[in-house]
Amino acid sequence: MMICKDRKWNVYSTILLIQAFHSLKVWFFWWLPDTAASVLFAVISILYLQVHQFWNFKDIRRKRIAIILLLLFLYSAEGNINAYIYSLFSAISLLPLVFLKLRYLIDLLERFQIVITAILAVSLLFWIGHLVGYDLPSFSITYGQIDRGMGLETQYYFSNHIFYLVNQSWMFTTGLVPEFMRFCSVFLEPGYLAILMVFLLFVNRFDFKDRRNILYIIVIVSTVSLAGFLMSVFAYIAHSVQHSRQGIYGLAFVGILLFFSLDFFKEYNHGDNFINQGIINRLEYDDTTGTIAGNNRTSVLLDDHFDKFVKTKDIWFGLGRKTELEFGVGYKKYLMKYGIFGLTMWLTFMLMMARIGWNYRALMLFVLYVLMFIRGDGSMFWLGFILVYIGGVVQSKYILNETLGKK
């Protein structure tokens, strides 16, 4: 894809990329708090509204998307006036992705892939060195705070090797040494990184002539993410269905590959390997929970609260600050906080963005976003994910138009 050669756009796109990678919790931006970042990026975007060639404010549909976005953030604000001001700035910092002209959105997505491919390639190279015993110098680094019932404490502990992080939170929480380390590059969590790779693979149409897609596959495997594994299978099936004549061979190949891979890793080293322990074992049914072993994004206590919650009138508008929720992530926690009304607003926002392309691939991107939300609600408003989502929607529209034009 051709990169736009415009000096003003080069500067502003760099700012948007910094904002995207800050949202994705890249370690070298941890020094900038989310509150300060939202205000900073919102102010910069407001200043850039003067550069008229970047924006499309005439599209009525996009104006409606912007209104839904603002209402969604204001509805989710909790606390005093400061909370509403922060929510307003957070929404404004996302508005550029709504109003940017389509060619700039596609260009921004391409620039994003160039940067993240470079980061992952270097990071993966040094990570392989780490696995075989050649470590870079490191220092300790922490991120976030959480209340586990005994007051605020640090949420994440890492050994920082500059080009990759090694999560050492187990030393301070369980005290148990994990049998394998999951790759997270310079990002906070391997699960979110794997899901991001799934989105990029789908946007790139699983074109393995493009070598960066091979890199994305390697990253998904290295993260040992159950969500990344399941979503990548779904994304490939969704991609193949669109090309049923050619796709049936691809689906057959994937099915055979999965069958033999599952059998191989269950038997290899008597099952004592990271694929079997990190993915296959987590797919097995757990009698105590009544679901697969890997479905542990919420606690039993939160599940009990949720079962009671859906039978009350609070289901419509949520509990908000009425009660302190047991720690957990995903649609249950979100629904308990914001109710059906809040969930409907979020789904409306994402669907309206999908309507910019409104074709099969745009709809499948929406489904992938819903699957990510079910897995965990924390990343749903990260600009990095929304950039890939709306960029993929726009790109699917351009590719469809080119195809119809050729016909």
The C-alpha atoms of residue 270 and residue 352 are separated, in whole angstroms, by 49
**253: CB partners within 8 A, 6+ apart:** none
Given this model, what pLDDT does residue 361 score? Answer: 94
Higher pLDDT, 246 or 32: 32
The rounded distance, in Å, linking the Cα atoms of 337 and 315 is 9
Query: Residue length, the chain?
Result: 407
d(CA 156, CA 280): 26
pTM here is 0.87
Other residues' Cβ atoms within 10 Å of the Cβ of residue 177: 9
d(CA 266, CA 242): 33
Q: pLDDT of 169-209, one tens digit each?
A: 876 655 555 556 789 999 999 999 999 999 999 999 999 99
41-77 pLDDT, tens digit per residue, is 999 988 988 887 899 998 888 999 999 999 999 888 8
The overall average pLDDT reported for the chain is 83
Higher per-residue pLDDT: 176 or 384: 384
Q: What backbone phi and psi angles, to 5 degrees, belong to 141? A: -150, 145
pLDDT at 9: 93
User: For residue range 323-370, what is the model confidence (pLDDT) as tens digits?
Assistant: 555 556 778 888 888 888 999 999 999 999 999 988 999 999 999 999
Which tops the pLDDT comparison, 293 or 275? 275
Identify the band that residue 81 occupies on the pLDDT scale cut at 50, 70 and 90: confident
Q: What is the pLDDT of residue 407?
A: 39
Q: Rounded to an integer, what distance in angstroms lies between the CA atom of residue 94 and that of residue 354?
A: 16
Cβ-Cβ contacts under 8 Å for 309 (sequence gap 6 or more) = 315, 319, 335, 336
The b-or-e profile of 365-377 (16+ CB within 10 A means b, else e) is: bbebbbbbbebbb
- Domain ranges within the chain, ordered by starting residue: 7-242+297-406
Residue 67 phi, psi (nearest 5)? -65, -45
Tell how far CA 289 is from the center of its chain: 26
pLDDT for residue 264 is more than 70: no
Q: What is the predicted pLDDT for the residue at 406?
A: 46
Q: Rounded to an integer, what distance in angstroms lies between the CA atom of residue 69 and that of residue 75? A: 10
Q: How confident is the model at residue 274 (pLDDT cuts 50, 70, 90)?
A: low
Q: Mean pLDDT, to the nearest integer, of 88-94? A: 92
The predicted-structure confidence for 97-155, as pLDDT tens digits, reads as follows: 999 999 999 999 999 999 999 999 999 999 999 988 888 899 999 998 876 666 678 88
pLDDT of residue 333: 83
For residue 120, report the phi and psi dihedrals to the nearest 5 degrees: -70, -35
Pick from 78, 102, 100: nearest CA to 90: 78
Share of residues in the chain with pLDDT > 90 (%): 47
Of the candidates 272, 262, 326, the one whose C-alpha atom is nearest the C-alpha of residue 298 is: 326
